[in-house]
Amino acid sequence: MSDDPQITNSELQAYADGRLGEERSRAVEAWLAARPDDAERIAAYRRLGEELRRAYDPVLDEPLPAWLGGGRAPRPRWHGFARIAGWVVLGAAIGVVAGWEVRDARPVAASRADPGEIMAHRAAVAHAVYSPEVRHPVEVGADQEAHLVAWLSKRLGTQLRAPKLEAVGYSLVGGRLLPGENGPVAHFMYQCNQGTRITLYVRTNVTGNRETAFRYAREGSVSVFYWIDSKTGYALSSADVSKETLLSVANAAYQQLNPP
Protein backbone atom coordinates (compact mmCIF):
# COMPACT_ATOMS: atom_id res chain seq x y z
CA MET A 1 0.00 0.00 0.00
CA SER A 2 2.66 2.47 0.97
CA ASP A 3 4.68 1.58 -2.11
CA ASP A 4 1.88 2.64 -4.38
CA PRO A 5 -0.28 5.07 -2.48
CA GLN A 6 -3.63 5.81 -4.03
CA ILE A 7 -3.82 9.56 -4.37
CA THR A 8 -7.27 10.96 -4.95
CA ASN A 9 -8.01 14.21 -6.70
CA SER A 10 -9.50 15.51 -3.45
CA GLU A 11 -6.22 14.84 -1.72
CA LEU A 12 -4.35 16.74 -4.41
CA GLN A 13 -6.66 19.73 -3.91
CA ALA A 14 -6.23 19.52 -0.15
CA TYR A 15 -2.48 19.30 -0.63
CA ALA A 16 -2.56 22.42 -2.81
CA ASP A 17 -4.44 24.14 0.01
CA GLY A 18 -1.96 22.95 2.62
CA ARG A 19 -4.72 21.08 4.41
CA LEU A 20 -3.51 17.52 4.16
CA GLY A 21 -2.16 15.72 7.22
CA GLU A 22 1.54 15.05 7.50
CA GLU A 23 1.37 11.42 6.48
CA ARG A 24 -0.79 11.93 3.40
CA SER A 25 1.26 15.00 2.46
CA ARG A 26 4.34 12.80 2.34
CA ALA A 27 2.49 10.28 0.21
CA VAL A 28 1.39 13.03 -2.18
CA GLU A 29 4.90 14.45 -2.33
CA ALA A 30 6.32 11.04 -3.19
CA TRP A 31 3.64 10.61 -5.83
CA LEU A 32 4.35 14.04 -7.33
CA ALA A 33 8.10 13.49 -7.28
CA ALA A 34 7.65 10.91 -10.03
CA ARG A 35 5.23 13.10 -12.00
CA PRO A 36 6.74 16.47 -12.89
CA ASP A 37 3.70 17.57 -14.92
CA ASP A 38 1.37 17.04 -12.01
CA ALA A 39 3.86 18.61 -9.62
CA GLU A 40 3.93 21.71 -11.82
CA ARG A 41 0.15 21.73 -11.98
CA ILE A 42 -0.21 21.62 -8.20
CA ALA A 43 2.46 24.30 -7.81
CA ALA A 44 0.48 26.45 -10.26
CA TYR A 45 -2.66 25.99 -8.14
CA ARG A 46 -0.75 27.28 -5.14
CA ARG A 47 0.56 30.26 -7.06
CA LEU A 48 -2.94 31.07 -8.29
CA GLY A 49 -4.16 30.98 -4.71
CA GLU A 50 -1.46 33.42 -3.69
CA GLU A 51 -2.23 35.69 -6.63
CA LEU A 52 -5.92 35.65 -5.77
CA ARG A 53 -5.23 36.65 -2.21
CA ARG A 54 -2.82 39.36 -3.31
CA ALA A 55 -5.39 40.68 -5.76
CA TYR A 56 -8.36 40.78 -3.41
CA ASP A 57 -7.04 41.02 0.13
CA PRO A 58 -6.52 44.79 -0.26
CA VAL A 59 -10.33 45.09 -0.37
CA LEU A 60 -10.30 44.24 3.35
CA ASP A 61 -8.45 47.47 4.04
CA GLU A 62 -10.46 49.72 1.80
CA PRO A 63 -12.43 52.34 3.65
CA LEU A 64 -16.07 51.36 3.82
CA PRO A 65 -18.31 53.39 1.55
CA ALA A 66 -20.33 56.07 3.27
CA TRP A 67 -23.48 53.99 3.14
CA LEU A 68 -21.77 51.28 5.16
CA GLY A 69 -19.65 53.38 7.43
CA GLY A 70 -22.31 55.76 8.56
CA GLY A 71 -22.55 59.39 7.54
CA ARG A 72 -24.59 59.73 4.39
CA ALA A 73 -27.95 58.07 3.98
CA PRO A 74 -28.05 54.95 1.84
CA ARG A 75 -28.52 55.46 -1.87
CA PRO A 76 -32.18 55.81 -2.67
CA ARG A 77 -33.79 52.63 -3.90
CA TRP A 78 -37.39 52.53 -4.93
CA HIS A 79 -38.21 48.87 -4.91
CA GLY A 80 -40.60 49.21 -2.06
CA PHE A 81 -41.12 50.80 1.24
CA ALA A 82 -40.19 47.71 3.22
CA ARG A 83 -36.79 47.61 1.60
CA ILE A 84 -36.03 51.20 2.45
CA ALA A 85 -37.43 50.88 5.93
CA GLY A 86 -35.22 47.84 6.46
CA TRP A 87 -32.26 49.86 5.38
CA VAL A 88 -32.97 52.73 7.67
CA VAL A 89 -33.01 50.33 10.59
CA LEU A 90 -29.88 48.52 9.47
CA GLY A 91 -28.18 51.76 8.53
CA ALA A 92 -28.82 53.13 11.98
CA ALA A 93 -27.56 49.98 13.66
CA ILE A 94 -24.49 49.71 11.49
CA GLY A 95 -23.83 53.40 11.55
CA VAL A 96 -23.56 53.32 15.29
CA VAL A 97 -21.53 50.15 15.46
CA ALA A 98 -19.34 50.86 12.46
CA GLY A 99 -18.58 54.33 13.65
CA TRP A 100 -17.03 52.87 16.73
CA GLU A 101 -15.70 49.52 15.73
CA VAL A 102 -15.00 49.24 12.04
CA ARG A 103 -13.44 52.64 11.80
CA ASP A 104 -11.47 52.24 14.95
CA ALA A 105 -10.13 48.96 13.68
CA ARG A 106 -8.88 50.55 10.47
CA PRO A 107 -7.87 54.08 11.28
CA VAL A 108 -5.44 54.43 8.41
CA ALA A 109 -7.75 53.22 5.68
CA ALA A 110 -10.78 55.02 7.02
CA SER A 111 -8.95 58.33 7.24
CA ARG A 112 -7.91 58.20 3.59
CA ALA A 113 -10.45 60.46 2.01
CA ASP A 114 -8.09 62.20 -0.38
CA PRO A 115 -8.23 60.66 -3.87
CA GLY A 116 -4.51 61.25 -4.35
CA GLU A 117 -3.63 59.42 -1.16
CA ILE A 118 -5.89 56.52 -2.02
CA MET A 119 -4.26 56.32 -5.44
CA ALA A 120 -0.77 56.43 -3.92
CA HIS A 121 -1.73 53.62 -1.57
CA ARG A 122 -3.08 51.46 -4.37
CA ALA A 123 -0.06 52.21 -6.54
CA ALA A 124 2.26 51.14 -3.73
CA VAL A 125 0.35 47.90 -3.29
CA ALA A 126 0.44 47.22 -7.04
CA HIS A 127 4.16 47.89 -7.04
CA ALA A 128 4.75 45.56 -4.13
CA VAL A 129 2.69 42.86 -5.81
CA TYR A 130 4.04 42.97 -9.35
CA SER A 131 7.59 44.28 -9.23
CA PRO A 132 9.06 41.09 -7.65
CA GLU A 133 7.51 38.91 -10.37
CA VAL A 134 10.18 37.07 -12.30
CA ARG A 135 8.19 35.14 -14.86
CA HIS A 136 5.10 37.28 -15.27
CA PRO A 137 5.93 40.86 -14.34
CA VAL A 138 3.67 42.24 -17.07
CA GLU A 139 0.76 41.11 -19.20
CA VAL A 140 2.04 42.62 -22.40
CA GLY A 141 5.74 43.15 -22.94
CA ALA A 142 7.59 46.16 -24.33
CA ASP A 143 8.14 44.21 -27.55
CA GLN A 144 4.45 44.90 -28.21
CA GLU A 145 4.48 48.45 -26.92
CA ALA A 146 2.09 49.84 -29.53
CA HIS A 147 -0.43 47.12 -28.80
CA LEU A 148 0.01 47.59 -25.06
CA VAL A 149 -0.59 51.33 -25.18
CA ALA A 150 -3.53 50.99 -27.58
CA TRP A 151 -5.13 48.30 -25.45
CA LEU A 152 -4.75 50.15 -22.15
CA SER A 153 -5.91 53.41 -23.78
CA LYS A 154 -9.01 51.66 -25.01
CA ARG A 155 -9.77 50.17 -21.60
CA LEU A 156 -9.22 53.42 -19.73
CA GLY A 157 -11.06 55.44 -22.35
CA THR A 158 -8.31 57.98 -22.82
CA GLN A 159 -5.16 58.22 -24.89
CA LEU A 160 -2.29 57.01 -22.73
CA ARG A 161 1.44 57.18 -23.27
CA ALA A 162 4.23 55.12 -21.81
CA PRO A 163 6.90 57.72 -21.12
CA LYS A 164 10.42 57.08 -22.42
CA LEU A 165 12.69 56.97 -19.42
CA GLU A 166 15.94 55.79 -21.03
CA ALA A 167 17.47 59.21 -20.36
CA VAL A 168 17.22 58.55 -16.64
CA GLY A 169 18.32 54.94 -16.95
CA TYR A 170 15.04 53.05 -17.14
CA SER A 171 13.53 51.10 -20.01
CA LEU A 172 10.00 49.80 -20.40
CA VAL A 173 9.38 46.17 -19.43
CA GLY A 174 5.69 46.28 -20.34
CA GLY A 175 2.39 46.83 -18.66
CA ARG A 176 -0.85 45.40 -17.41
CA LEU A 177 -4.42 46.28 -16.67
CA LEU A 178 -5.42 46.46 -13.02
CA PRO A 179 -8.74 46.79 -11.26
CA GLY A 180 -8.86 50.23 -9.71
CA GLU A 181 -11.02 51.96 -7.21
CA ASN A 182 -13.77 52.67 -9.71
CA GLY A 183 -12.51 51.41 -13.02
CA PRO A 184 -9.56 50.03 -14.90
CA VAL A 185 -6.04 51.21 -14.17
CA ALA A 186 -2.96 51.06 -16.40
CA HIS A 187 0.26 49.85 -14.84
CA PHE A 188 3.58 50.30 -16.64
CA MET A 189 6.78 48.71 -15.41
CA TYR A 190 10.30 49.98 -16.01
CA GLN A 191 13.64 48.47 -15.17
CA CYS A 192 17.23 49.72 -15.06
CA ASN A 193 20.33 47.75 -16.03
CA GLN A 194 20.80 46.57 -12.47
CA GLY A 195 17.30 45.11 -12.47
CA THR A 196 15.76 47.73 -10.20
CA ARG A 197 12.12 48.29 -11.04
CA ILE A 198 9.91 51.33 -11.04
CA THR A 199 6.20 51.21 -11.82
CA LEU A 200 3.89 53.90 -13.15
CA TYR A 201 0.25 53.66 -12.13
CA VAL A 202 -2.22 55.61 -14.25
CA ARG A 203 -5.89 56.05 -13.45
CA THR A 204 -8.61 58.23 -14.93
CA ASN A 205 -11.65 60.04 -13.58
CA VAL A 206 -10.05 61.18 -10.38
CA THR A 207 -12.84 62.84 -8.47
CA GLY A 208 -12.50 66.37 -7.27
CA ASN A 209 -10.62 67.37 -10.41
CA ARG A 210 -7.85 68.91 -8.39
CA GLU A 211 -4.54 69.39 -10.06
CA THR A 212 -1.69 68.78 -7.74
CA ALA A 213 2.01 69.29 -7.69
CA PHE A 214 4.22 66.32 -6.92
CA ARG A 215 3.39 64.71 -3.67
CA TYR A 216 5.35 62.07 -1.86
CA ALA A 217 4.03 59.11 0.10
CA ARG A 218 5.58 56.10 1.67
CA GLU A 219 3.81 52.78 2.19
CA GLY A 220 5.98 50.25 3.97
CA SER A 221 9.13 50.01 1.91
CA VAL A 222 7.60 51.55 -1.21
CA SER A 223 8.13 55.21 -2.06
CA VAL A 224 5.58 56.93 -4.28
CA PHE A 225 5.57 60.25 -6.10
CA TYR A 226 2.14 61.11 -7.39
CA TRP A 227 0.36 63.89 -9.16
CA ILE A 228 -3.03 64.59 -10.71
CA ASP A 229 -3.49 66.36 -13.99
CA SER A 230 -7.00 67.05 -15.31
CA LYS A 231 -8.63 64.02 -13.72
CA THR A 232 -5.81 61.70 -14.67
CA GLY A 233 -3.76 60.50 -11.74
CA TYR A 234 -0.19 59.27 -11.98
CA ALA A 235 1.81 57.51 -9.30
CA LEU A 236 5.41 56.42 -9.69
CA SER A 237 6.54 53.79 -7.20
CA SER A 238 9.72 52.02 -6.25
CA ALA A 239 11.02 50.13 -3.27
CA ASP A 240 14.66 50.10 -4.28
CA VAL A 241 15.79 53.58 -5.24
CA SER A 242 16.40 56.69 -3.20
CA LYS A 243 13.79 59.38 -2.96
CA GLU A 244 16.05 61.67 -5.04
CA THR A 245 16.41 59.12 -7.83
CA LEU A 246 12.70 58.46 -7.87
CA LEU A 247 12.05 62.19 -8.02
CA SER A 248 14.32 62.58 -11.04
CA VAL A 249 12.47 59.77 -12.81
CA ALA A 250 9.14 61.32 -11.81
CA ASN A 251 10.31 64.63 -13.28
CA ALA A 252 11.24 62.98 -16.55
CA ALA A 253 7.88 61.20 -16.70
CA TYR A 254 5.98 64.34 -15.79
CA GLN A 255 7.59 66.39 -18.52
CA GLN A 256 6.53 63.88 -21.16
CA LEU A 257 3.08 63.16 -19.79
CA ASN A 258 2.14 66.73 -18.99
CA PRO A 259 3.90 68.96 -21.51
CA PRO A 260 3.52 72.63 -20.63
∠ CA 220-221-223 to the nearest 5 degrees?
A: 100
Distances from the Cα of 12 to the Cαs of 28, 29, 51, 75, in angstroms? 7, 10, 19, 46
SS3 label, residue 154: helix
The piece of 161-169, 174-182, 194-202, 235-243 that touches other proteins (CB under 8 A) is 174-182
Binding mask 59-98 for other proteins (x = CB under 8 A): xxxx-xx-xx-----x--------x--xx-xx--xx--xx
Per rule CB under 8 A, count of chain residues that contact other proteins: 54
Contact between 149 and 160 (Cβ < 8 Å): yes
Nearer to other proteins, 46 or 243 (CB): 46
Pattern 47-66, binding to other proteins, x per CB under 8 A? Answer: -xx-xxx-xxx-xxxx-xx-
| Beta-sheet strands, E only, within the chain | 140-141, 171-179, 184-191, 197-203, 215-219, 222-229, 232-238
140 interacts with other proteins by CB under 8 A:
yes
| Site for other proteins contains 34 (CB under 8 A) | no
Classify burial at 182, counting beta carbons within 10 Å of its beta carbon; exposed 0-12, middle 13-18, buried 19 or more. exposed
The answer to whether 19 contacts other proteins (rule: CB under 8 A) is yes
CA distances from 184 to 18, 85, 209 (A): 33, 35, 18
* Binding-site member from 177, 215, 232, 240 for other proteins (CB under 8 A): 177
Q: Is 201 in the site for other proteins (CB under 8 A)?
A: no
Minimum distance of other proteins from residue 117's CB (angstroms): 18
Q: Which is nearer to other proteins, 45 or 232 (CB)?
A: 45
Q: At what angle do helices 22-33 and 9-16 cross, to 10 degrees?
A: 100
> Which residues lie near other proteins (CB under 8 A)?
6-10, 12-14, 16-17, 19, 37-38, 41, 44-45, 48-49, 51-53, 55-57, 59-62, 64-65, 67-68, 74, 83, 86-87, 89-90, 93-94, 97-98, 101-102, 136, 139-140, 147, 151, 176-177, 179, 181-182
